[in-house]
Amino acid sequence: MMLRIVSILLVLVTAATGPWWLAVICGLLYIVWFRGAEIVLVGLLADGVYGTGSVLPWYTTIFTLTLLLAEWLRPHVFIYNK
Amino acid sequence: MKKFSSTMKGSSRRSSVTKRVKLTIIFAVFGAALFYLVPRLLFGVAALVMLPIVAVQSWFYESSASLPQFLRDRSALVAEMQQLEQQVLEHSGDQHSLTLLKEENAELRSLLAEDGSERILAGVIARPNQLPYDVLMLDQGRVDGIVEGAPVYIGNQTVIGYVQSTTRHTALVTLVTTPGFSSTVFVFGPDIYTTAVGMGGGQLRIGVPQGIELNEGDLVIVPAVTSGVYGAVTHVESSPTQPEQFGFVSPELPLQGIRLVAVGNTALTGSSFETAQANVTAANTDLFSVPVPDDVLVTVGTSTATSTGSTSTTTATTTTDL
């Protein structure tokens, strides 16, 4: 649980301070590791600060799609889950 | 029993996955609703949550305290120190320090406008290479007098964007080079007004018909606000089979090199064509005129020509005004 909190804080800090690609990598690792939906809220916070004038909330979109993709892919890539 | 347990376990896992997917979709829909319907509320909440992080970042990058100064890019500081030591040896120190101070003073004076208009100096704490958006984050906010819609300058006259939103201690600047952002520009060389579209990363793209001679190095200004030169055409993309050609404009100072900016104290208002023309005329004057001391400048109105011969000396002064 502690690792999860530290990881989500790490994503939040990298999203706030940049560079953006590091935030995305941290977010993707978090998704693969924990598959927690709270990452979408973190993306939303980052988009709220920097991207309110933009056409698309990039962090939220990337994290949501990756999270859904991870959920869909996971049963297909693990052999010993049946 | 084993079968029952196995069935229950699979069912539980499926249920957990469904729950997570539902939660993700709910968060995404909720986020999209906030983002598009009440962006200001979202900005306010997000800025509040991010405030401690931004404050620490600002302290780390901008503070003159010992610890952040020590931690800040140590290798670069060491290299700079060695270079400075070398220069101090070469120029006996004081002269170099004086030059640096003069340059910094000139930069600050330039940022704060010489025409007397009041501007607010702000440090840049986030740039496009750190963010997926073409925006700048400044370390000055509402309490420092920053207002939304105010123009943001580099140098004396060059506008690079406007303040999109503010918090108490920070401000977000949308750049004129934000993808899709359109602005009217004047191009010296062909001497035309045209529309420039932002490409991101500090680049503008101007599109003109093939017949117009567009060259690399042509200076470009954004006359709607000031007469400052935004940059020069660095690349022309022209294909004879296409009806138009494109010029790509880069700013004089790269975005990554911007450390300080100046923010106007009032929001931008609409500009007329007459204002734009006046700015273009002012730019013409500024670009091609240099302040020359009176004792060096020779003009028709005050020139003195002296010729010395072997037998006589003649001095002729012409006072014809042009």
Domain positions in chain B: 2-37, 118-290
Q: Say whether A44 and B42 touch across the interface (CB within 8 A).
A: yes
pLDDT at B121: 86
Q: Say whether B21 and A46 touch across the interface (CB within 8 A).
A: no
Residues of chain A with Cβ-Cβ distance to B35 below 8 Å are 44, 47-48, 51-52, 57, 60
User: How far apart (Å, rounded) are the C-alpha atoms in residues B259 and B265?
Assistant: 20
pLDDT at B110: 66
ipTM: 0.79
Per the domain annotation, does A73 fall within a domain? yes
Q: Say whether A53 and B174 touch across the interface (CB within 8 A).
A: yes
User: How far apart (Å, rounded) are the C-alpha atoms in residues B19 and A35?
Assistant: 12
Q: What does the pLDDT average to over A5-28?
A: 86
Give chain A's domain count: 1
User: How far apart (Å, rounded) are the C-alpha atoms in residues B298 and B269?
Assistant: 42
pLDDT at B46: 87
Q: How many CB pairs under 8 A join A and B?
A: 117
List alpha helices for chain B, DSSP H: 2-37, 39-62, 66-71, 74-91, 94-111, 273-288
Q: Return the H-helix or E-strand segment holding A68.
A: helix A58-77
Shortest distance between the Cα of B130 and any Cα of chain A, in A, equals 4
Q: Say whether A58 and B45 touch across the interface (CB within 8 A).
A: no
B117 phi, psi to nearest 5 deg: -70, 145
Q: Return the H-helix or E-strand segment holding B132.
A: none
Mean pLDDT of chain A: 84
DSSP notation for B13-29: HHHHHHHHHHHHHHHHH
Asked whether the beta carbons of B200 and B134 are under 8 A apart, the reply is yes
Asked whether the beta carbons of B262 and B112 are under 8 A apart, the reply is yes
Residues of chain A with Cβ-Cβ distance to B50 below 8 Å are 12, 16, 45-46, 49
With CA atoms as reference, the chain A residue closest to B166 would be A49
Residue ranges in chain B modelled with pLDDT below 70: 1-15, 73, 75, 92-94, 96, 110-117, 156, 226-228, 270-271, 275-291, 296-297, 299-322
Q: Return the H-helix or E-strand segment holding A59.
A: helix A58-77
pLDDT at A65: 92
pLDDT at B270: 64
| Contact B172/A at CB under 8 A | yes
Here the tokens at position A58 are 């990039």
Per the domain annotation, does A61 fall within a domain? yes
Residue pLDDT, tens place only, B106-125: 777 766 655 556 788 888 88
- CA dist list (Å): A36 to A26, B46, B249: 13, 20, 44
Per the domain annotation, does A37 fall within a domain? yes
Enumerate residues 12 to 51 of chain A having a beta carbon within 8 A of any beta carbon in chain B.
12-13, 16-20, 35, 37-38, 40-41, 43-51
Q: Which domain covers residue A17, as residue numbers?
A: 2-77
**B4: Cα separation from own chain's centroid:** 67
Burial of A63 (C-beta count, 10 Å sphere; 0-12/13-18/19+): buried
pLDDT at B248: 92
Per the domain annotation, does A82 fall within a domain? no
pLDDT at B14: 63
pLDDT at B286: 60
pLDDT at B307: 45
Per the domain annotation, does A20 fall within a domain? yes
Q: What does the pLDDT average to over A40-64?
A: 85
Please state which CATH number belongs to domain B118-290: 2.40.10.340
